[in-house]
Amino acid sequence: MNLKKYFYNKIVVITGASSGIGAAIAQLANSFGAKVYGLCKSKTNDALENVVYLSCDVRNKEQVNSAISEIINKEKSIDILINNAGLGISGAVENATNQDVNLIVDTNLLGVVNVTQAVLPYMRVNKNGKIINISSVAAIFPIPFQGFYSSTKAAVLLLSESLRM
């Protein structure tokens, strides 16, 4: 795949773009000529040069809709959405609190749903767009003491397959 052709002159939105895989993808897309918007739980101004960071917790539908509206108002379209935001919790399933479970499910799965639902209407109107959801090998091969991470990543994988169809 010619990544420069894929990203050149595109509007790219990446969740969880301030560190890790999200920051690496943002840097790559930017280097190939994309205009990159990073949605991050805590706004950062210095993570990557030439990336526009917007403060947005993907668990909060109002924040997501506001951030996507801001991008659309400025750019008129979103060409690529990369749902990358995620987290993990370690430990035995029986020791997890409901608060921990809700946090990981709301971030890893509901976050993907919230951002996808916010972007899809614009992609449909423009008859253009790609959505890339970052899952994990743990979706297929569960990790011991990472049951909730594996479960949410499996859900993202199946949601992605449903969207593809």
CATH number at residue 89: 3.40.50.720
Residue 41 a catalytic site member: no
Q: What percent of the chain has pLDDT over 90?
A: 85
With a cut of 90, say whether residue 138 has pLDDT above it.
no
Model pLDDT for residues 67-101, shown as the tens digit of each residue:
999 999 999 999 999 999 999 989 999 999 999 99
With a cut of 70, say whether residue 46 has pLDDT above it.
no
Residue 90 a catalytic site member: no
83: containing domain: 3-164
Residue 69 a catalytic site member: no
With a cut of 60, say whether residue 45 has pLDDT above it.
no
User: Can you tell me the mean pLDDT for 134-150?
Assistant: 92
- The residue annotated as part of the active site, out of 37, 53, 122, 149, is 149
Q: What percent of the chain has pLDDT over 70?
A: 96
Count of the separate structural domains present in the chain: 1
Helix/strand/coil (H, E, C) string of the chain?
CCHHHHHCCCEEEEECCCCHHHHHHHHHHHHCCCEEEEEECCCCCCCCCCEEEEECCCCCHHHHHHHHHHHHHHHCCCCEEEECCCCCCCCCHHHCCHHHHHHHHHHHHHHHHHHHHHHHHHHHHHCCCEEEECCCHHHCCCCCCCHHHHHHHHHHHHHHHHHHC
User: Can you tell me the mean pLDDT for 128-145?
Assistant: 93
Residue 135 a catalytic site member: yes
